[in-house]
Each structure stands twice: as C-alpha cells, then as structure tokens.
Amino acid sequence: MSTETLGSLTLALLLLVGGANLLGHLAARLRQPKVVGEILAGVLLGPSLLGLLAPGVAAQVFGAGDQDTPTVVLEFLYNLGLLLLMFVSGASVRNVLGKDNRRPTAWILGLGTPLPFFLALGLTPFLPLEAFMGPAGSKPAVVLVFAIAAAVTSIPVITKIFFDLGILHTRFASLMLGAAVLEDIALWAVLSLATAIASATVASGGGVLAATVSVHVVTNILFVLLAMTVAPRVLRRPSRARWNLLATESPIAWIIVVFLGYVSVAAALDVTLAFAAFLAGFGIVGGMKGTERQRFRAPLDSITHVSAAVFIPIYFAVVGYRLDFVEGFSPLMLIAFLLGSSVVVLLSIGLAARLAGFRGLDIVNLAMTCNARGGPGIVLASVAFDAGIISAPFFTTLVVTAVLTSQACGVWLDFVLRRGWPLLASEGRVEPRKLTLDSPSGTVGPAQL
C-alpha cells in the first residue's frame, strides 16, 4: 500500500468516524436517534453532496471502483460494523422476557407481526416489482424483503430511545424488547431464505434451484436451533475453564474469538452472516451464569463502547454514503411505502394490543414503538441491497423509512412522558431513571447505539 493510498484511507476514516460521531451526538442533543446523525454524515460525504459538488475529491478519498484499496478496506469496515451491531444487539437479549409479559408478547408475535407481513405478501401481486428489484432478478426474494420491511421492529434503536428517556426499567420497555427480540429472530430467518433464493436465482441464470434453496433453509434452521440451545451450554464450560488462557487472562479476546467463530462457521455453511453475529451475542451471554456474567460484563461493555464509537458509526455512515438522492431516489415510492406500511403496522399492533387487554393510550404507545424500524430496518436494507435483491431507490426508501419511523417513536414517547401520562395504565406514571452500564437490567449495552 502506497503512502498516498494510506493517506487517502486515513482521511476517509477520519471523515467517517469524526463526522458520524459529531453529527450523531448533535442528533442526540436535538432529541433524535443518534443513528440519524451518523447516516447524515455519510449522505454529506456521498454522491448526494460531496460526490455531486466535487466528484474527483470524493473518488480520491473513498475510492472509485471495487478494486481500489480504500474501497476494499471501507467495505470490510462497513461489514465489520454491521456484524458488531448485530453482535451487541444479540448480547442484549436477556432479562426481557418476563412472565407477566407472556400473554401480550404472544398476541404481538401471533398477530401484530404476522399481519403486516402477510398483508404485504398479499399486496405484492398488485405492485410494479420491477421498480423494487435489484440485479439478482429474483421476484420471490423481493417479495419476502418487502414483507419483512413492513413488519420489522428495531431492537437497538428502541433500546437507545428507552435509555435516553430513562424508561429501561419499566414493564413497557421489557415488553417491547422481548417482543422485538423474538420477532427479529423470526424475520431474520425469512431474510436468510430470501438471500438463498436470490443466490439460487443467480446461479441458475434466472430460475430458482429448489434443491439449493431447500438445503440452505434446512442449514439455517439447524444453525439457529443449535445456536440458541446447544451453543450457549457448550460455551459455558470453556468460558470458565482454567486452561482457557483467553477467557481467564484476556476475556475481551475470548469474546471476539467466539464472535468470529460464529461468523466463520456461518460463512462456511452459507448462513446469513449478520444473523450469525446476532446469535453469537445471544449465545455468549446465554452461556453465562452468576459470577461468570459479572466477570464478562466489563469486557462486553468495552466491546460495546469501542463498537459504538468507531465501527458501528462507520457502518451507518457508509449506509448514508450509499444513499443517492440524485439518481437512486423515488419520492413516490418513499411516501407510498412509509405511509402504507406504517398504517398497517399501527392497526395490526393496535388490534393485537387490544386483544391482549390494553386500552386507550397503552395501545397508541405500543403501536408507535413497534413501528420504529431503526437499526434492523437499515440492516435489512443493506443486506438485501448487497445481495442484489433490491434496487437503489427501494434501498433508499427502506433506510429513510427506518429513520423517520424511529424519529416518530422517540418524539411520541418523549411527549407522553413530558405530559406525565403513563406508558402502560397498569404501571401508572413513570419516573424516568437513568441507568448505567453496570445496571443489572442487562439491556443497557446496545443502548449506546
């Protein structure tokens, strides 16, 4: 690598990390999700502004082709940021599925999530799918991504909103996080199916290879089952064994090795890597008991801090960099999808909440929160776009929808708390309580995102 190339890459990282953090903190000061500022930093550095005003400068700093060293390195850091985002999100999945939330969680998962998904599936025959389709040319994959995008809820962003508002300790927060966790696991499995179909379509020159898809689906199902049941128990023994020098002397290295191990195995089995990273976080935390959890809490927090300060902002900034509001944007598509999917989600969650026994303001609070697409919505868009499933305009639509719905959720909950209204009538008025990373809640780590 030449000095000139290294200098360009260093400048690119400086602009991405510095700009994303600066605008992210500015967004937080304005009571907006931090991710909004991080994506905006990428938009300013991308084809919508810098690339439009000074294309030569943009090409020199960020690379002009797939084989350019800056492009390759930034692509690696982008994917690493995505994997770390999913890892720390998976590590937050603990102590959120309380017994008193089982009935409403069952209604949300049994009706609130499937209804938007299947309504979106039913609507697709009437849509011009060619406008949504990417270079893979797979209609079934596009249909599945469209349905997932209409139903997905954000774990990291709503956790961040709950953290900022000081309501992570409430039953409302635990109910929402518990439902979102199980929902995202199911929807990521469907996304894995969509990527398998897209890959098979490309491999067959336009036709879907049923055998390839079947093998991929079975592999993913087995991977999920083993990762959620067997793997945490298997990891428990080496995590506390004295012979394991990594776990005893350098627990951060041990956690990273486990994380990379999950991703490497998933890559060998052709399992969606982002999904594997989520399960890695879930698995390593699920395998800890008592003193082990205390011993690994600080290392996990350290990984979360570094990820949230460097790699995850790079990921979201590159997502913004990829947005092209000049050529790859359709206002009509954005308005139609944003309004249509939001109405369907609000009505579906409202119906599920009412059947679960909630009334009035409770229903509105639950529906507004479930409509926040946030991080998973953006991850869905980037994974589908990278796989060639969706077009650039639909990619932009999904990212902007994720940002706007997350903003709406944060503004609404902040308004409710300022008016002194309860999040759930059974809880009464909520007193905001700022938690720290040492809180026993166990859901605060990804709140830094």
Please tell me the distance from the alpha carbon of residue 97 to that of residue 178, in angstroms, as a whole number: 5
Looking at residue 31, its pLDDT comes to: 74
Looking at residue 209, its pLDDT comes to: 52
DSSP 133: B
Tell me which residue of 424, 429, 436, 287 sits closest to 362, measured CA to CA.
Answer: 424
> Structure tokens of 24?
């992210």
Looking at residue 439, its pLDDT comes to: 40
Give the pTM: 0.73
CATH code at position 404:
1.20.1530
Does residue 390 form part of some domain? yes
Does residue 299 form part of some domain? no
Does residue 298 form part of some domain? no
Please tell me the distance from the alpha carbon of residue 136 to that of residue 169, in angstroms, as a whole number: 45
Does residue 51 form part of some domain? no
Looking at the DSSP bridge assignments, the partners of residue 133 are 390
Rounded to whole angstroms, what are the CA distances from 388 to 20, 141, 151, 254?
26, 10, 21, 34
Please tell me the distance from the alpha carbon of residue 362 to that of residue 358, in angstroms, as a whole number: 6
pLDDT in tens, the chain (449 residues): 678 778 888 888 999 999 999 998 998 888 777 878 888 999 898 887 887 788 888 777 777 665 566 678 888 888 898 888 888 877 765 545 556 667 777 887 788 878 888 998 898 888 888 889 988 888 888 998 898 888 887 665 676 677 667 776 777 877 777 777 677 667 767 777 787 777 766 655 555 555 666 676 677 778 878 887 888 888 888 887 788 888 888 889 989 999 999 999 988 887 778 778 888 887 887 666 666 667 788 888 889 889 889 998 998 888 888 887 877 788 999 999 999 999 999 999 899 989 888 889 999 999 998 888 876 788 788 888 888 899 989 999 998 898 899 888 888 988 898 888 988 888 777 776 654 433 433 334 433 34
CA distance between the termini of the chain:
33
Looking at residue 333, its pLDDT comes to: 92
Looking at residue 257, its pLDDT comes to: 92
Does residue 282 form part of some domain? yes
- 408-414-417 Cα angle (round to 5): 140
The owner of tokens 């929902």 is 183
Looking at the DSSP bridge assignments, the partners of residue 390 are 133
Looking at residue 394, its pLDDT comes to: 92
Name the domain count of the chain: 1
Does residue 72 form part of some domain? no
Q: Can you give the residue range of the structural domain that contains 350?
A: 88-287+330-448
Residue 308: strand, helix, or coil? helix
Does residue 267 form part of some domain? yes
Contact assessment for residue 109 and residue 303, using Cβ atoms and an 8 Å cutoff:
no
Looking at residue 203, its pLDDT comes to: 57
Does residue 312 form part of some domain? no
